[in-house]
Every structure is written in C-alpha cells, then in structure tokens.
Structure 1
Amino acid sequence: MRITVIGATGTVGRIFLKLLEERNFPYSELNLCASSKSLGKSLSVNNKSYKIEPVSAELLRKTDITFISATTEISNEIGLLAQSCGSTVIDDSSAFRLKPNVPLVVPEINVDDLYNHQGIISIPNCTTTPLAMVLNALSKYQSINRVIVDTYQSVSGTGKSAINELHQQHSQLTSNQTISDPQIYPHQIAFNLIPQIDVFTKNDYTKEEEKIINETRKILHNSNLPISSTCVRVPVIISHSEAVHIEFNKEISTKKIRELLLNHRGISILDDTKTNSYPTPLQTEGTNDVYVGRIRKDVSHKNGIALWIVCDNLRKGAALNAIQIAEELIERNLVKYTP
C-alpha cells in the first residue's frame, strides 16, 4: 500500500503519522508532503526518516491512497488531481463533504457508503463525528424529533497558529505584559470564549454551525432531522466538547440510553455524579473513543434527554477516522493498491 500524506506537518497530519505507527497500518511506501516552507524537513515514522517533498502528478500516480489535511482550496485542487491520477483520496476538509457523489463516512455508522465512492471520500467536521455517533446509537431504538447541540471547541481545531496565539496571550496576561492584537480569532481567546467559528451566513448561523447540521443529516441518511447548533471557541488546546439535548418521539429512560451507548462501537461512558465523574478535554486528549457523561432526563420535556460529549478532535475527530476509512477500504477490496 503506497500512501501519500498531504499536510504531514500540520496538527492533524502529525497525529495521522502517529496512528500509522500505533495501528501498524500496512503501508509499503510512505510519502510526506506539506507547504513550501516545510520542504526539505524530515519527519520520523516507525523509526525511519522521511523528507517532506512537493506534491506532483507523478507522485500521485504512484500513490494508492492520498490523505489530505489542508485548507478547502488546497483540498479542492489536490484532491481532484489525485483522483484523476487514480489515487483514492481521503479528505479532511469541507471541500467535498456535501457533494452528492462523495461519501461522508464515519466507519462506525455508515461504512457501507464506501461502496459508492468514486475516488474521493470525505471525513466529517470534528464536532460532527461524535454527535453523529451518539445519535446513531440512540436513533436505532427510538425516532428522534429534535436535536439541539452547543459545542465548546478547542483551538487545535484551527491549527498550530491558533495554539501558538493562545499560549502567547496566556503568557502575556499572566506576566502583566501588554497583550498582542489577536491575529487568528476576531477577539482575544485566552481567558475568553468566542461564540463564532468561521464566518456568519445569511441566516446568522456560522458556517461551522451549518456544517454540523448538514453533515449529521447526510451521515445518518436523514435529510429532515430537526437540528440546531451553536459553536463556541474556548481556550482549550485539544478536545471538543458538546452539550446535547435530544427530543424523542416517545419517553426513554436514562438506563436505556446508557445501554444503547455502551453497545455502540467507539463510545465510552464516564458518568457517575457521586464521584464527579464525567468526560473533560484533559481526560480525553490522546484517546480514540467518543466519551459521554452527564446523562439525564430533560426536565423541560418528558421525551427529552440531555448529555455531554467529549472527543479528541485530532484523533477520532480527524486522523483516526481517516485511518479507519483506509482500513475498511482495504478489508472490503474497495481500493486498488500495490502490496
């Protein structure tokens, strides 16, 4: 299996390389690409050094699977080029997610959608994946009438520059220095919350909020699912959190909710109010599961349930999902490759 990683030096790209090692992914050849400022640098994978090289059609023609973690613009350009070169693309951007002929896949939910791929497969937004997994577990037992989700998203979802800005602002504030003007976000992020992720749209939702709505519907094959979202950037480095309220068509017990979640692959429960046990970003950083806690009846609606979800956005929210998709492609003989 010949693999090319586009965006290898980025936050998601580096986790992807680490997961190649952890999961003993069966590659025979590995190529690493990144922006021009990284050319010539080296990264170590499985105790072997790989130089960062430029992307080219020649390289992509010799690639079985191309993993892309880059901007939407770069994904559009390189993704289509790789597809035309015969490489199967697994893309982490929003470039192709809502295109009808591109599967948007979470392997624990809709792995069979891979059979419809035409050379490009999309990974959902990092907040969509954990939400969709929880809704998938619950909707198999009871129809869902409405979902309201509020997200609390770490700065690593933006990238290394945002992590650096948070560290810089925190250092300046705690040492009584004048804080630099924010460059990445519209406001200071240190010791603050910003209820805006991406730009606002005509209906006053942000693009991030619309991504969660539309992507969740596509993954669950439920285009009419009533869902509303509010996305907030928080001064946390890794892991996204979500407060979710779900209204069912019939009353459902918290005991049944726990049972359904525990039986779903990739979901773990941390939920014991007696010991103050619930998932937090620090607990989930570096882990692969979607963690759920604070499971309780919604006191405002007899058919409602409230719960709390936390997930490492760089792993299951991005890189791990890509690795799992590649593994499924190989297992199902859905990708042509050189052993």
Structure 2
Amino acid sequence: MHTELVAALDIGGTKIAGALVDGGGAILTRAQRPTPAREDGETVMRAVEAVLADLAVGPLWASVRAVGVGSAGPVDAARGAVSPVNIPGWRDYPLVERVHRASGGRPVTLVGDGVAMTAAEHWQGAAQGYDNALCLVVSTGVGGGLVLGGRLHTGPTGNAGHIGHISVDLDGDPCACGSRGCVERIASGPHLARRALDEGWRPGPDGDVSAAAVAAAARAGDPVATASFERAARALAAGIAATAHLVELDIAVVGGGVAGAGEVLFAPLRRSLAAYATLSFVRDLTVVPALTGTDAGLLGAAAAACEGLADAKADALTGE
C-alpha cells in the first residue's frame, strides 16, 4: 500500500458510508447518509455527493489523491457504471463519472461489494500475506472476489469471483439470476432460513425467522436448524472447491451476516470442504472467518483506490 490519503465510499441499499483512509489502513474521518433507495437516481446521487461534501470539510481533503467506490452490484467497472439490484433508480448509472466530478476531478476506482470485501481482507484481514485467496460475503446474497498472484483479480467488468452464481445443484431450485441450484439459492441467509421453515423449524415467541435465529436454534441443538446450516455449508464448500480447482487457492475467507453463526457454519463447512477439495493441490486449502467486519466495504474501496494509483504510476513509468 502507498502512503497517499484516499477517499472511500461504500454504497449499499441501506446506507452510503464514506471515509478518508491513510496508507496504513487507518480510517481518519467518517461520514454517512441513509440511501434513498426508493427515490430516483439523481436523489441517490445527491446523497453520495453529501457524503463527499462532509469528507471535504476538513483540512485532510487536500491530501486526497484518489477515490475508491465499493458498490452493491452488478457493477460494470469497464464502463464505470452500476445497476444495483437494491437501488432501482440506478440502472447503468455512470457513477464513476459523477464521483469524479463531485470529488474535484480525482481518479475514481469502482469495485463491487464482494471485491471490496476481498481487497479489505487481503490488505488488513484474514487473507493478509496470502497470494491466492477467495473471499466470500454470505448475507442476503452470496458474493465474492479473488486475489491471484498477490493482486486483486477483478476481471474486465469487476465481477470476477462471484461465487454466488456457481451452480452446485444441477437440478436445483431456480435462482433469481435465471440459473438453477446456485450457491446463493442454497446458502444465502433468506434461503437458508426459508429452507428451515419448510422443513418444520419454528421460530421462538419473538417470531424471528432470520438466519441468525436459525443459527441460535442450531446452537441449542435443533436438528432441523442444524441440517439447514449443514446444507448451506455443503453448497459453499462445493463452490469454494470448484473455484480452488480452477485457479488454485491458499485460503478461503468467509464474511457477511451468515458467517456470524460461527462454528454452526464453519464446522460443517470445514468438513464438507475436506470432502470436496480432495486433489493434492487443493487439499491444504483452509477456510476462516473474515476479520474486517463492518468496515470491509470502506477498507476495500480504499485498497482498490490505492491499487489504482499504483497502476497509474506504473503505466506512467513504462510510458503506456
């Protein structure tokens, strides 16, 4: 990482968070606004601009060299556009151009939220020191990103590593993406919880039917809740193993709300991974919880901005 100060934006369906981050990963200033997700695209953009304006108030702004943006997806980093599922007003929205203007002409690097989490974990978290890593976000959806050869591997549009839409059940249930039996269709929080309900699990007096409530029931020994997490773990393990066989990985890092279940998820995940990742070159693959928590989006956006600066300097030195 370089020592330049960067601005980071983490844009989701609930909130737009911003921060100024130094080269060591320290968050120096924060700003946040709720996402007006049901409003038109320009209203959403005004909230982004308000966060940037809050960050620009202090003296540190003059030292900001670039802006990193981690956004809910899909994203198209090649075109600088976003079409987040949970922000209907943004469809092919030219976010990079708009942030470039709003930040005073600073260079902008755009990544999806799964890639942002990956960049954060490789820089400051559980994937630190590993050259080949897969990082997953298991929440209301299942996203991810890759580090290959020591560098963030985003792919042409910024969506490489999207493990949620690897099919692990060829005749499985239809997924919202149009395919069948995707990892996300089995392992995401809402689908995991719905499966438990369908199989006979019943919530407590509070009526909580979230994945966290299923995890609590599994922890207390409920066999249906336990089976739902084991099934989700198998789907995740199959997707991780497929990815490891394809590109050779050292570590898989799992974050997001569902990972908050702890050993209820990770114990069957490790068992299933051992069953799926059997060839010699993937047998030592480890799977661990993410460490960067709620700041993953901001730290990942900052890491992407720093990498963008480094690439620009390298291009300038080689005359490209």
Q: TM-score range by the shorter chain?
A: 0.3 to 0.5
More helix by share: 2
The two structures have a TM-score, normalised by structure 1, of: 0.36
